[in-house]
């Protein structure tokens, strides 16, 4: 019997980075939860917990992020 998690593709790091960058370019700044929901909608997920993965991307300089009162959490965008 297949579980819900077996239907979700855990993306490789490079593919996940490109997914996030493409998503942010297309939609503008998004919260961690909004990015997670977009990935889930496509039956995908980041290699780590989403917030950890996004923080790693931020440290690499691929994206930017900051606390947002409007988003009630972190907001992420492409520099």
User: What is the full per-residue pLDDT of the chain (79 aa) written as tens digits?
Assistant: 444 456 889 999 999 999 999 999 999 999 999 999 999 999 999 999 999 999 999 999 999 999 999 888 999 999 9
Whether 25 is in a domain gets the answer: no
| C-alpha–C-alpha distance, residues 57 and 35, integer Å | 13
- Number of domains the chain contains: 1
List the one residue out of 31, 32, 65, 60 whose CA is nearest residue 46: 32
pLDDT at site 10: 94
pLDDT at site 17: 98
Whether 21 is in a domain gets the answer: no
Domain that holds residue 67: 30-79
Whether 14 is in a domain gets the answer: no
pLDDT at site 3: 44
Whether 60 is in a domain gets the answer: yes
Go through 15-39 and write b for each residue having 16 or more CB atoms within 10 A of its CB, e for each that does not.
Answer: ebbebbeebbeeeebbbbebbbebb
């Amino acid at each position: 019997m297949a579980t819900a998690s077996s239907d979700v593709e855990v993306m490789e790091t490079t593919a996940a980075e490109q997914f996030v960058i493409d998503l942010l370019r297309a939609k503008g700044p998004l919260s961690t939860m909004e990015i997670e929901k977009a990935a889930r909608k496509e039956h995908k997920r980041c290699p780590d917990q989403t917030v950890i993965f996004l923080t790693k991307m931020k440290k690499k300089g691929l994206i930017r992020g900051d606390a947002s009162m409007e988003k009630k959490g972190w907001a992420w965008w492409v520099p």
